[in-house]
Amino acid sequence: MPNSSVKQTAFAKDMLAWYDTSARRLPWRTPPAESKKGVRPDPHHVWLSEIMLQQTTVAAVKSYFLRFLELWPTVEALAAAPSEQVMAEWAGLGYYARARNLLKCAKTVVEDYGGRFPEEEADLLELPGVGPYTAAAIAAIAFGKPAVVVDGNVERVMARFHMVETPLPDAKPALKDLAATLTPKKRPGDYAQALMDLGATICTPKSPACGICVVRPSCAAHKAGRAAELPLKKPKAKKPTRRGVAFYVERSDGAVLLRRRPDKGLLGGMLGVPTTPWQEGAAPNPSAHAPLDAKWEPTTPVTHTFTHFHLELEVWRAEVGAKVAKSLDGEWAADPLGAGLPTVMRKAVKAGMRV
């Protein structure tokens, strides 16, 4: 049953007091001592960090965030950036649709809003790549709106605090409603970040540190001795396995053939070696998709796991002279590992290299 014994003001007060002394120091965050004085972070920084943090850890995002700001310190600068450069700088962060939407969103903010992010959730939701969580986070953190910010960390805190036994993802609407009952009007951005910090550092998925949790006295799951088992989750469906062939073509001077993938679809807009389609069952007939007729040499196969499937990729290698190379579509990279390739393509290139 939902925990209705704690008033909104008491819960928020405890969370904010804890945040004032325990907030994580993050490059996109305004420290609580400053935010209490009314200082708010740059909406551009909040938006950029939140897009990067989608399904990605804070540790992985920090260097990318700082690099993007170094290259494009304003949303106007990012909107004017070449797509190929943005995609290359995003390489390795994964979920590449985020990078395409990042550029679309920057252009929309500049063209439709004069370079200023809108403040209201409804308007933020109209921006490319901005969903309900991201819109709420920007509204609360950047503009001080009492938006209900719910990510995986917050869902976990709410499920335990209220001892919600409905499995995820079915519990998501109820958990958001419960989070709404506790969201304060005062310092909503700091409160949202406090909840996320609590879930990331104390109310963790495994072995939660209940002994040092600021809301432990009122947590229903802790009282019942069930904090570690919540939230419940439905069994995940088994990921299918797809198979394909990657073609590593090396020119006589050591340069490697790369092609840019179509904008739409997996790894859209990213550079990589040519490949067959990826499909379940046997790999497609390589000869129908090879970039040229050549004496192909099988090398070490590679594997990679995406969100929705596992990939098994054979890697075939061939060497060509300068005359043949001129007839091939694509671009030649003297340093393919420095060309901003996504992780799976880096694996394929490393497999194709002679060591």
Return the active site residues. 50
Rounded CA-CA distance 110/335 in Å is: 35
Residue with tokens 């700091």: 190
Residues in CB range of 146: below 8 A, 6 or more apart: 140, 183, 184, 185, 188
Rounded CA-CA distance 119/262 in Å is: 34
Count, residues in the chain: 355
Quick one: angle between helices 97-113 and 43-53, nearest 10?
A: 160
Q: How far is CA 242 from the centre of its chain?
A: 23
Report the chain's C-alpha Rg in angstroms.
24
Rounded CA-CA distance 337/100 in Å is: 21
Residues in CB range of 207: below 8 A, 6 or more apart: 228
Residue with tokens 């519990």: 171
Q: How far is CA 130 from the centre of its chain?
A: 12
Rounded CA-CA distance 1/340 in Å is: 50
Q: What is the DSSP string of 49-97?
A: HHHHHTTS-HHHHHHHHHHHHHH--SHHHHHTS-HHHHHHHHTTS--TH
Q: What is the DSSP string of 98-155?
A: HHHHHHHHHHHHHHHHTT----SHHHHTTSTT--HHHHHHHHHHHH--------HHHH
Angstrom distances, CA of residue 79 to CA of 118, 127, 206, 297, 303? 16, 14, 41, 43, 35
